Structure 1
Amino acid sequence: MSPSPALVLAKGLARALARVGLPGPEGLERLSGGANMESWRFTAGDHTLILRRAPSAEMMAGRPMDHHGEAELIRAAHAAGVMAPEVIGELEPGDEIGSGFIMRAIPGTPDPVAILAEADGETLIGDIARELAATHRIPAAELAVPVMDTAAALAELKARYLSYGGDRPILALAVRWLERNLPADVAPHLVHGDFRLGNLMVENGRLSGVLDWELAHLGDPHEDLAFGCMTVWRFTRPDRPGYGLSSIERLVEAYQAAGGVPFDPARFRFWTVYRTFWWALGCLQMGNFWRDGHDRAVERVVVARRTSEQELDLLLLLEDQAPEAERSRPLPPAATPVQRGRGEPDGSEILEAVSEWLNGDLKRLVSGRDKFNLAVARNALGIVARELAQRPPATDAALSAQLLAGTADLATPGLLARLRRMALDKLSADVPKYPALAEARTRWEGP
């Protein structure tokens, strides 16, 4: 009989720990979250540690920086005084558990909901601004960090969009806007690439660590400033544009006081649209990871449906390009939901019944990562049930092609209203609790 995956992981990790003079792991626990990499918490003697790993080579394919490069960067950031973790060891092929590295655990929580509920926003935004400025000063010339060419990166994103079908009109609208608003090159600085709530540790309301450096590169610091301000990363506080904590003005003021680069609003807007589009494609990519067999976790297909969050956010960002007559045009009516009869249960009702069973009988039997996966599975069933009942429109290849070519735009009569309806209906099926959805409904449909 083959050993269990947990035993294989523990044995491989024990080999890596022995190289740095530590005993084998105890209390291995898979942490929730992490769209790309796995994170495991454990103890080794008196030390509380974190393993960050990719279980297979396929998970690292095409990445501009491997785990060794990421570990070296984190060491450099830690040495420069940035609140990066302390890396104590790296996995080797002989460990037979994939690629990755081991870090000391940082106290605090990365949970955005808990942080937004407990922290003083003005204090924490100051900590974030300070660490952003410090990150952008890290010397990276000797590190294996990729250099970002913005025009080339945008062209690659466009090619990915087309490879995913090229049939999402709001994404096509974003591509066209980005191509027409490409900023000039700037002197490159180290950019973290994923600096947002969820990747920041907070203890007692103060920043205690900066995690997840896998997307770091040399580029425009405005990318980091904009990424954390995206609506999706404000979580429960979409009304606070600065990281869900404060205003963008307060973030910029604190960032520049800490020695950050001069702020350019046009660059900030470009990167906000760019990274929102980028994350939309990242969500779609999760579905293809599942299709291609790299990771058959249900979490992958659920994250893929979060593309509609970014479509709504992109339309909110870009609708000011439309003439006033189009911005004030009433929306077309929503599709009429399927009416349930009194005969045999339809598909959405069957899914609802399965979800209720999972939440009752099975929920009491699971804990840890299994409990998280159960919640994801129930979410997946809800998406399909709402889709069957609401029949939201999702794609339009012909309109997408027109938007890419510039033969249709937000001045086209009725187009903005149609895209608004499409965004509302799709997101209502995919993620009805997305905080920005209620704001968009009020803005577009009225109170």
Structure 2
Amino acid sequence: MTDLVQPLSAFMTRIAGPGELSGLSRLSGGANMESWAFDWAGRAYVLRRAPSAEYMEGRPYSHAVEAALVRAAHAGGVRAPEVVGVLADTDGMGTGYVMRRVVAEVSPAKILADPPPSLVADLGRELALIHALPRAAIPDGIKVMDTAAALAELKARFLAYGGDRPVIALAVRWCEAHLPAPADPVLVHGDYRMGNVMVDADGLAAVLDWELAHLGDPHEDLAFGCMTVWRFGRLDRPAFGVGSLEDYFAAYEAAGGRKVDRERFRFWLVYRTLWWALGCLQMGQAWRSGADTTVERVVVGRRTAEQELDLLLLLGDEAPAAERSRPLPPSSAPPAPPVGEPTTREMVQAVRDWLGEAIKPGAEGHGKFQVVVAMNALGIVMRDLEAGVRAEDRALAEAMLSGATTLAEPGLLARLRRAVLDKCAVDSPKYAALAQAREQWDG
């Protein structure tokens, strides 16, 4: 933090005039970028940055392009933050930009506990405004997404990561078979969901995190926030965990959005769930390669199990009725209670308990977030040591990817259901859809 004080003060003096830096603190959110809140001359700001240019390698565009896009959205009436300055190499803080801070709630749990009555309509309206931004206002660095090419890239990544997860192979094959015709491209936010919107008592206050924006099919944005994972346990409210799809679509269309095509919407719901499953695997690869050695990366890498569960919930209806009603095979028997010297699991539990009792109470801000992530990692290790569940099956994945094996094979859907239930119970036991799937599939 102290490394930022002097260069940030110099930067703010240059773009906003004399003042004094105060209240500098790292915000706990932001899996891919650092966000720092601070005050300058009595006004509140946020610095969004990557500590080095190397961190931006492989990204579709620079922070300068991203800042230009956020400015264009703000100027076009979208509730995007107001960008006040973009970092230069000479500023010594990496790459990024500074925005005026919006005072509103960003926590999905807090928003969804008591959402303002207008929120579903606000979400639909705001997305229509984003999609209506004129092409001339969009920076040149924002590229057009070719859906077929993007799907091929997802498939290549899956194979590079081992190509051995049957449910992911099933989803790749399904997307290939249901690829929609190209759409007239609009600006797609790319990450429009709870966690990236701010809400106050009057409704939607700001749309954040524009780093995945591109030109493409508007149904991609419509579907993304409706994924199970981004509804944060509100499974009875398919639109963002807030309300119904009918109200969401009606608000979008009333604000000028194109008429929603339910088949396209379903394609993108499956596609983006597949995309996030591979995104989770990619984060594990980033840790393994040394590109990002934070504990958060390995923990998110194990969230692939959540998306495999969701994919099977989405695609299970493709199986014949007899397979959908087939009973599941039993889980493996639990191990016998330990005796003698402490087991590896018990030693991991001791460290996890110590973190919770001795370290977490004294931690603050991002440090406290990191302690919680470390405790989650150790919890996964404990359950994994006990259950010994793995998701890899290269032969089956290859057969499903080629179409040689389908959900019509007797007993396959039941085996896949049991496998994803047991794996998700190890990796994400509190995932809301896990309980729903157990009830639906296993009684």
What's 2:4 paired with? 9
Alpha-carbon deviation of 1:337?
2.2
Alpha-carbon deviation of 1:7?
2.3
Which region of structure 1 is more displaced relative to structure 2, 332-341 or 429-438? 332-341
What's 1:124 paired with? 119
Letter in 2 for 1:108: A
What's 1:301 paired with? 298
Alpha-carbon deviation of 1:95?
1.9
Is the aligned partner of 1:217 residue 2:209? no
What's 1:166 paired with? 163
What's 1:140 paired with? 135
What's 1:3 paired with? none
What's 1:76 paired with? 72
What value does the CA root-mean-square deviation take over the aligned residues?
Answer: 1.2
In structure 2, runs of 5+ residues without a counterpart are none
Letter in 2 for 1:374: V
Letter in 2 for 1:126: A
Rate the CA distance shift 1:264–1:233 in 2: closer, same or farther, 3 A: same
| 1:273/1:314 contact within 8 Å kept | yes
Which region of structure 1 is more displaced relative to structure 2, 51-60 or 239-248? 51-60
What's 2:94 paired with? 98
| 1:335/1:392 contact within 8 Å kept | no
What's 2:393 paired with? 396
Structure 1: distance between partners of 2:381 and 2:417: 22
3-state SS of 2:118 partner: helix
Q: How does 1:378-389 map to 2 (within 5 A)?
A: 378-389=375-386
For these two proteins, the number of residue pairs brought into alignment is 440
Structure 2: distance between partners of 1:237 and 1:295: 32
| 1:340/1:346 contact within 8 Å kept | no
What's 1:65 paired with? 61
3-state SS of 2:80 partner: coil
Rate the CA distance shift 1:215–1:108 in 2: closer, same or farther, 3 A: same
| 1:58/1:294 contact within 8 Å kept | no
Q: TM-score, normalised by structure 2?
A: 0.97
Letter in 1 for 2:374: A
What's 2:201 paired with? 204
Q: TM-score, normalised by structure 1?
A: 0.96
Is the aligned partner of 1:89 residue 2:85? yes
Alpha-carbon deviation of 1:347?
1.3
Deviations 1:29-58 (A, max 9, x none): 111121211111111111111111111223
Alpha-carbon deviation of 1:294?
2.2
Letter in 2 for 1:280: A
Letter in 2 for 1:196: R
| 1:13/1:24 contact within 8 Å kept | no
Deviations 1:208-255 (A, max 9, x none): 000001111111110001000000000020121111011111111111
Alpha-carbon deviation of 1:98?
1.3
Deviations 1:123-147 (A, max 9, x none): 2100111100001001133512111
Letter in 2 for 1:66: S
Equivalent residue in structure 2 for 1:36, among 18, 29, 32: 32
| 1:10/1:24 contact within 8 Å kept | no
Structure 1: distance between partners of 2:442 and 2:20: 59
| 1:16/1:90 contact within 8 Å kept | no
What's 1:276 paired with? 273
What's 2:192 paired with? 195
What's 1:183 paired with? 180
Rate the CA distance shift 1:205–1:324 in 2: closer, same or farther, 3 A: farther
Equivalent residue in structure 2 for 1:318, among 299, 315, 319: 315
Alpha-carbon deviation of 1:15?
3.0
Structure 1: distance between partners of 2:301 and 2:22: 34
What's 2:410 paired with? 413
Letter in 1 for 2:3: V
Deviations 1:57-97 (A, max 9, x none): 23211111211111000000000110000000011111222
Equivalent residue in structure 1 for 2:103, among 104, 107, 112: 107
In structure 1, runs of 5+ residues without a counterpart are 1-5
| 1:335/1:391 contact within 8 Å kept | no
Structure 1: distance between partners of 2:289 and 2:29: 21
What's 1:362 paired with? 359
Structure 2: distance between partners of 1:335 and 1:145: 49
| 1:37/1:52 contact within 8 Å kept | yes
Alpha-carbon deviation of 1:422?
0.9
3-state SS of 2:135 partner: coil
Deviations 1:96-134 (A, max 9, x none): 2211100001111110000001214x5210011110000
Is the aligned partner of 1:342 residue 2:339? yes
| 1:393/1:426 contact within 8 Å kept | yes
Alpha-carbon deviation of 1:205?
5.3
Deviations 1:264-314 (A, max 9, x none): 011000000000011111111111221222221111111111111100000
